[in-house]
Structure 1
Amino acid sequence: MSGSLLLRDASVDGARVDVLVRDGVIAEIGAAGEISTGAAGIEQLLLDGRVLLPGLWDNHVHMSQWALHAKRPSTFHAASAREAAGMMAAALAGAGALPLDEHGRVLPLVGTGFRDGLWPDVPSRALLDEAVPSAPVVLVSADLHAVWLNSLALERFGLSDHATGVLREEPAFEIEGQINDLPPEVLDAWVADAGRDAAARGVVGLVDLEMSWNADTWMRRRSRGWRSQRVELGIYPQHLERAIELGMRTGDALDALLTVGRLKIITDGSLGTRTAYCFDPYPGMQGAEAHGLLAVPPAELEALVLRGLDAGIAPTVHAIGDHANAHVLDVFERLGVRGSAGRIEHAQLLRAADVARLGALGIDASVQPEHALDDRDLADLHWHGRTDGAFRVRSLLEAGATLALGSDAPVAPLDPWVTVAAAVERAKDGREPWHPDEAIGVGDALRASVRSRIAVDEPADLVALDADLSGADGAALRAMPVALTLLAGDATHSTL
């Protein structure tokens, strides 16, 4: 940003102040009315006592998939596989003619959000064929770790002989990569819309963990005018050597808004797909996968983490089950990974001893509080008797871990106020709080959602609210009205 902006009469930590922004950073803070405006070219904006906060970050998103999510029919609230299949039949009837690909083939109808972990029946290709016999259909699970296809879709992807039509983990990710491969000009426009929507909720930064090679994607979006958020780009193992050859290191700036992020390693699956790797078996499951799936064994994980660290690329490791989390902590301990050098994504189920270990290492715990509320019934069923160790937030904070809150959008909404409300109240939809002893205060939740302070020489990434935070309950937090969002001093959203 060039030029200057004076924010008049903001409320910061209970004090009424003026904040002068110059060239994208905070240049001066003074009591309300005390900063001189004698210099020419200073724009003024009266906040009239509105609360001013540092801009909010979502520390775990899949931005392309979040943008696509808004365009696809949802089966999130289906109570059975048959109901979900019927929802897709209704979506097809309402969609009209499906678009064609470059070869003249009908593109699959893609749905989102199926959650079969609580269903009384089992998803199958036959059930989906019965509901939608005339078009290829792909449903993506709510946790993104499974897909459900009918026969026409299976044929389309060269899987005609697949028995059930339900694919999990790596085979599912391959299908998702293909159905998400839209023309760049189309997807970029949808992502731009999603970025503006996020700015309207006070978001100034995203950690984008799409599985694709994202550096070129985001440089293209920047060339097309992206300016809604700062973006930190994740790197997956299949792209690690490419990143190393390019000399990319965690924290490197690719331009004013794009930064190289961390090496994202997915070491196990998810609760909803019953692939999170656990010490105890899932109820009713037997055989090799009864405890979930360990996608990256400890020796392989250690080699990947070490390769990244040697090249200056810090790890962030997906671990949901308690056994997976224990493996990650073992590796971090052996390699001496401590503090912000290491991060665990999700950390959904943890033994008490591993909470203590995580805290002693002081590493980041990138957690998504809304998942606890969406998955509480799944956890009560599939982690029966162990949910006192599930979706811990307060315990991690008190143990010494550094919390980084996020959504995992599209698994949960890209809205930091939804995330904060879930962390603070541990309840929604009129239900009683779930394990309320793991709730944290609004201040702690906000500190885990920002990367700057309101102080001189800090980035002018700022948010002004149209409501008071004091005493706000979960419903008020979820609906928190944002009046102004500044990114490096430029307004990305304003109702003023």
Structure 2
Amino acid sequence: MTLTFSGARLIDGRIVDVTVSGGTITAVTPAGELPTVGEHVELDGHVLIPGLWDRHTHFAQWAQSARRVQLGDAGSAADAAAVLAAHAETHPDGDLVGVGFRDALWPDAPHFALLDEALGDDADPERRVVAVSADLHTVWLNSAALKAHGFYEHPSGVLREQDAFAVIDALDDVPEATVDGWAHEAAEAAAARGVVGIVDFELGFAPDAWRRRFAAGFDELRVEAAFYPERLADVLALGLGGGAQLDASGLLTLGPLKVITDGSLNTRTAYLREPYASDVGADERGLLTVPPDELIELLRQAVRADLQAAVHAIGDRAVSHALDAFALAGARGSVEHAQLVHPEDLSRFAELGVTASVQPEHAMDDRDVAERYWGARSRRAFPLRSLLESGATLAFGSDAPVAPLDPWLAIASAVFRTRGDRAAWHAEQCVTVQQAVQASVRSSIAVGQPADLVVLGADPLGAEVAELRSQPVVATMVAGRFSYDAIR
């Protein structure tokens, strides 16, 4: 298909005509200078930007999350249990799965007894209740679920890190046809927000899941399917380097090796240089889940196979270890999250060519938790402007379902460092709209670039926080065809 967008306003203010053909941009000229080629779409000054990417998702979990009991508003363990109890009354059969709780600031502690009570005295003793935390690093189980997952005589019912991941992976055991249908719906919703591509860090083996979906006709998004160390041998056996095409569509590629080296802030397991704030009774520095020598060897294997690496590191000590490993292994890739960065590490991202893959909406979710558990260190939490000024490349994502898969939420949080009436949190770390958009794209509007484009319904420059969070999108194009079209 050949098509010309006429009268497009770029984010730098230029008014141009943009022609696409065969999935590629073939011409960018001043508006009206050349005859229109192919189908004509008059934009009449609408803003045209490159397609948006979400560089960190757990897509199957995001697709399922809307179908689970929402616990994000629970202010205590008792509140969360009450929400689950109310759902149990109206849904008497089957297991209960809740998602999105944040217990770091709760006044009471979650315990399996609360979930047992939520089902009532007459409940099936085998009925399982599982609540998954918003950060995906904690699960809270009732007695039946503890037994079903092999955790007998557990003192609290609260599992963290690897134990939690094992439970979450088991919860995702949904029939393939069902979860693939949900994935289509989630992809259509993402396209309506201007998303053209995702990097998927789903547990299990995402490359196989995505090959199945694309074979069945999925074509709404570009997908980079990442994998974990447990499947590194499988990838090495295929002999595929990073970015290799995984099917004939041209939309599905092999993503990076994902290594999780520490925990999370809300679970209080992010690995720190100094102990967590003493006023909350914690003197631990968090949890390092992959020792430095092991991480270096994993990255060296990635280098030998021409693979990129994505290293999860949230605490400042974990970030330092990750950067050390990139340097010693000579690896390429990203540090995922980089929520707390020591000043001496800021310049190392650019020096090593390591991308800071960050989720700005997490700063809005975590500001109070950071203030409590990181204390004065929170002034260097989510240091977006400092990273940019040091020369680092930023890549924005959502970590969906930790935050919604909507790039405008990340953009607005990066620009304003607030999402409501509260004062901006460390406003010195705000970035511009142009910088936030640049961190959300992987192409440009230039000849030879992919025809991944988004037509906006309003100008994001000068928008207030609420306006930017709800930024209207009127068309999204992936590889030269519309994945969302409300303009023609």
Separation (CA, whole Å) in 2 of partners of 1:220 and 1:374: 34
Q: Specify the code of the residue in structure 1 equivalent to 2:371.
A: D
2:73 to 69, 74, 77: 77
Is 1:307 aligned to residue 301 of structure 2? Answer: yes
Q: Specify the code of the residue in structure 2 equivalent to 1:395.
A: S
Q: Contact conserved, 1:423 with 1:439, CA < 8 A, in 2? A: yes
Mean Cα deviation higher: 358-367 or 455-464: 358-367
How big is the shift at 1:342? 2.8
Separation (CA, whole Å) in 1 of partners of 2:282 and 2:42: 64
Q: Contact conserved, 2:25 with 2:448, CA < 8 A, in 1? A: yes
What is the TM-score when the length of structure 1 is the normalising length?
0.94
What is the TM-score when the length of structure 2 is the normalising length?
0.95
Separation (CA, whole Å) in 1 of partners of 2:320 and 2:31: 51
1:239 to 231, 244, 253: 231
| SS in structure 1 at match of 2:288 | coil
Q: Which residue of 2 is the match for residue 10 of structure 1?
A: 8
Separation (CA, whole Å) in 2 of partners of 1:381 and 1:156: 35
Aligned residues: CA RMSD: 1.3
Separation (CA, whole Å) in 1 of partners of 2:230 and 2:271: 22
Separation (CA, whole Å) in 2 of partners of 1:258 and 1:212: 17
1:327-476 superposed matches below 5 A: 327-337=321-331, 341-476=332-467
Cα deviation, 1:390-420, whole Å, max 9, x if unaligned, reads 1110111111111011110000110010000
How big is the shift at 1:96? 4.3
1:118 to 92, 97, 105: 105
How big is the shift at 1:285? 4.5
Q: Contact conserved, 1:85 with 1:132, CA < 8 A, in 2? A: no
How big is the shift at 1:220? 0.8
Separation (CA, whole Å) in 2 of partners of 1:181 and 1:35: 55
How big is the shift at 1:360? 2.6
Separation (CA, whole Å) in 1 of partners of 2:170 and 2:281: 31
Q: Which residue of 1 is the match for residue 116 of structure 2?
A: 129
How big is the shift at 1:286? 5.4
Separation (CA, whole Å) in 1 of partners of 2:130 and 2:147: 12
| SS in structure 2 at match of 1:116 | coil
Q: Specify the code of the residue in structure 2 equivalent to 1:78.
A: A
Is 1:66 aligned to residue 58 of structure 2? Answer: no
Instruction: Count matched residues.
Output: 477
Separation (CA, whole Å) in 2 of partners of 1:30 and 1:348: 41
Separation (CA, whole Å) in 1 of partners of 2:376 and 2:6: 54
Q: Specify the code of the residue in structure 2 equivalent to 1:112.
A: V
Q: Contact conserved, 2:261 with 2:288, CA < 8 A, in 1? A: yes
Is 1:162 aligned to residue 154 of structure 2? Answer: yes
Separation (CA, whole Å) in 2 of partners of 1:50 and 1:477: 16
For structure 2, list consecutive stretches of 5 or more residues without a partner in the other structure. Answer: none
**CA 1:136–1:59 in structure 2 vs 1: closer, same or farther (change >3 Å)?**
same
Q: Contact conserved, 2:358 with 2:394, CA < 8 A, in 1? A: yes
1:55 to 42, 51, 54: 51
Separation (CA, whole Å) in 2 of partners of 1:335 and 1:65: 32
Separation (CA, whole Å) in 1 of partners of 2:93 and 2:469: 37
How big is the shift at 1:356? 2.6
Separation (CA, whole Å) in 2 of partners of 1:433 and 1:270: 23
Q: Specify the code of the residue in structure 1 equivalent to 2:477.
A: L
How big is the shift at 1:161? 1.7
Q: Contact conserved, 2:62 with 2:401, CA < 8 A, in 1? A: yes
Q: Which residue of 2 is the match for residue 24 of structure 1?
A: 23
Q: Which residue of 1 is the match for residue 83 of structure 2?
A: 87
